[in-house]
Amino acid sequence: MKQRRVIMSAAGVFICGISVGMFKHASLGVDPFQSLMSGLAGVIPIGFGTLYVLVNLFLLLFSLLLDKRKSVSRP
């Protein structure tokens, strides 16, 4: 079950990345998070894709650390 979740998560991130790239290339506009990422990409001197992965990794770790259901052992 865990392997399936990891594969589904990776596929979701991949599809999201492709979609964001298409919106960015077409100049159709983006949602607030993508707007934040575009702004950060203009300020931080690393590639957009690398920055996107790093910020999402940070948010994932942040949510895993704060998720009390996974960190508290239950009897």
Q: Which DSSP string corresponds to 24-46?
A: HHHT----HHHHHHHHHHHHSSS
Cβ-based neighbours of 29, under 8 Å, separated by 6 or more: 23
Q: Which domain holds residue 49?
A: 2-68
Please state the pTM of the whole predicted model: 0.53
> Does 73 fall in a domain?
no
Q: What is the number of structural domains in the chain?
A: 1
Residue 51 to residue 44: CA distance in whole angstroms = 8
pLDDT at 74 over 60: no
**Tens digit of pLDDT for each residue in 38-72?**
889 889 999 888 998 999 999 988 888 887 666 55
Residue 34 to residue 38: CA distance in whole angstroms = 6
> Does 36 fall in a domain?
yes
> Does 74 fall in a domain?
no
CA distances in angstroms from 37 to 5, 29, 31, 32, 34, listed in the order given: 26, 12, 10, 9, 5
> Does 27 fall in a domain?
yes
Model pLDDT, residue 16:
86
Model pLDDT, residue 71:
56
